[in-house]
A and B are shown apart, each in its own frame.
Chain A
Amino acid sequence: QVQLVQSGAEVKKPGASVRVSCSASGYIFSSHYIQWVRQTPGQGLEWMGWISPETGDTNFAQKFQGRVTLTRDTSINTAYMELSRLTSDDTAVYYCAREGFISTAKTKYFYGMDVWGQGTTVTVSS
């Protein structure tokens, strides 16, 4: 079945970096963008960015520019999110999600994040 499996929980000190992996199976990895979203304690959901597994193109929320790196390894159908210069405000559950789309003869129409990883808890504490 279609699934995304993320790496395990991380505990980091302020100023450090964290890398979360997202391994895809059950579909053609290169055909769907991978989105990254986080849920912070007491806050809601926050979109971080996306990567095209086919081209490696990325798009980030301005808030994370310069701190987040999105990469992928198509040989193992895995996407990665690395966040640097961590602070306590980055304590959150991080999710990867597949962007669903419907194709017509001319274009693709995205419709939302239809498959989600299980989430990775990142705790930033001194």
Chain B
Amino acid sequence: DIVMTQSPDSLSVSLGERATINCKSSQSILYSSNNKNFLSWYQLKPGQPPKLLVYWASTRESGVPDRFSGSGSGTDFTLTISNLQAEDVALYYCQQFYLTPWTFGQGTKVEIK
């Protein structure tokens, strides 16, 4: 199985500042036929289902604020939340869909400092 490892497990960021979450896969998840990384980022808030934020490592889902951005390729990926807002307090997960079983990172909790 591909192991997804996120860091840090939690972080506290002041309103308006930047939050950076890292995700590392145990093997490359770059799909050669379309040169896309099969990695998605999800936001999870209490009592709500997960929400897709970013797919193919760097493509923002429709309707997601542009303060959310994804980057990286191969095995190392980053989700950046610039200008952190109060509503961004949540758990964030990366997930690979390159090989089954699809696997998630352990999650990163983002809080307001």
A-side residues, CB < 8 A to B, are 35, 37, 39, 44-47, 59, 61-63, 95, 97, 100, 107, 109-114, 116-119
Contacts and interface: CB of A to CB of B under 8 A. Distances in A.
Contacts of A100: 52, 55
A112 B102 CA distance: 10
Interface in B5-41: 33-34, 36, 38, 40
B34 A45 contact: no
Contacts of B51: 116
Given A45-B107, A95-B50, A112 B36 contact: no
A111 B57 CA distance: 9
Interface of B: 33-34, 36, 38, 40, 42, 44, 49-52, 55-56, 59, 61, 91, 93, 95, 97, 100-107
- A-B pairs with the 7 shortest C-beta distances? A112-B40, A116-B49, A111-B55, A61-B101, A47-B102, A112-B55, A44-B107
Contact of A112 (B52, B105, B106, B107): B52
Contact of B49 (A46, A107, A111, A118): A118
A45 B101 contact: no
A109 B95 CA distance: 16
Contacts of B105: 44
B104 A112 contact: no
Contacts of A97: 49-50
Given A114-B61, A116-B49, A47 B44 contact: no
Contacts of A39: 44
Contacts of A45: 42, 44, 50, 93, 95, 104, 107
B23 to A, nearest CB: 12
A113 B52 contact: yes
14 contacts: A45-B93, A47-B101, A61-B100, A110-B38, A111-B55, A111-B56, A112-B40, A112-B42, A112-B52, A112-B55, A112-B97, A113-B50, A117-B49, A118-B49
A46 B4 CA distance: 12
